[in-house]
Every structure is written in structure tokens, then in C-alpha cells.
Amino acid sequence: MQIYDNAIPRLNGRYFAHATSVGIQYKSSDEVINLLAGGSRRTIVLSPGGRAMLISWSLVVPSKNAEDLRLIRMWREAEEVLVGVDFMGSKLGISTRGFLQDPQLTGQVGQTFTFAISAVCEPKDFG
């Protein structure tokens, strides 16, 4: 029995089941404001700012198939993409739109060649 869930990233309908890591990060630029209490009972209030969701994943690059590297072209052309993450156990998932960011290739002697990329998107709830 599998205790912990497993998440698979998805991009324009294509699943990356071979992803070696997946991350989902919610980002904001909120500002904390101090108010003079003469005008309010509150002395601290949050001024919500822009919000975004960052989905990132990394892959190993097989020696005979480097098809995943085509994502770099989509990043270079700032192409809007449909991004999602699906949980295999709970069947919960996220589908949203966004743009690819920060593709990164890392290779080293004695280690697997990896390809990491992320997508910044409209924040969505799991459903």
C-alpha cells in the first residue's frame, strides 16, 4: 500500500511521469502596513499584493531521447502554456495557465544529466 501521494506535472496535455521532483509554490507581494490606531482599532493590516503560483519540476535526460529539451523553445518564445499537476492517490489536481521560466540543465561527471524548468501561473485551488 502506498502511504504518500505521488504528483505528476502536466504541460499542454502531456504528462511528465518520469519527473524526478515536483514543487508547487504560492507566491505573493503582500505589504504589511502599520496604521495609527486613532483611525482604526487595528495597528497592523495586510495590503494584499499580486499573487502567483510556481510549478517546478525536474527530469533526467536520457541519452537516446532529448525531446524534453524542446520546452526551451517554448520558454524562449514566451508561449502561454496549460500547466497542471495531478495527484495519483487522491485524484486531486490543478489546471491553470502560465508561462515557462528558468530552464536549467545540469551535468556532472558521475551524475545524471538533469533538466529543470518551472512555470509561473495563475494561482488555483486543488480540485
| Residues engaged in binding other proteins (CB under 8 A) | 29, 31, 33-40, 42-43, 45-50
Q: Which is nearer to other proteins, 40 or 112 (CB)?
A: 40
CA 105 – CA 59 distance, rounded (Å): 10
Q: Tell me the closest approach of the beta carbon of residue 80 to other proteins, in angstroms.
A: 18
Q: Tell me the closest approach of the beta carbon of residue 34 to other proteins, in angstroms.
A: 6
Contact present, 10 and 84 (Cβ < 8 Å): yes
Q: Which is nearer to other proteins, 43 or 112 (CB)?
A: 43
From the list 115, 85, 60, 59, the residue with the least C-alpha distance to 7 is 85
Number of neighbouring beta carbons within 10 Å of residue 54: 17
CA 53 – CA 22 distance, rounded (Å): 13
Q: Which is nearer to other proteins, 34 or 65 (CB)?
A: 34
Q: Tell me the closest approach of the beta carbon of residue 60 to other proteins, in angstroms.
A: 38
Q: Which is nearer to other proteins, 49 or 62 (CB)?
A: 49
Q: Tell me the closest approach of the beta carbon of residue 40 to other proteins, in angstroms.
A: 5
Q: Residue 113: in which H helix or E strand, if any?
A: none
The three-state secondary structure class of 48 is coil
Per the structure block, which three cell numbers stand in for 105? 540543465
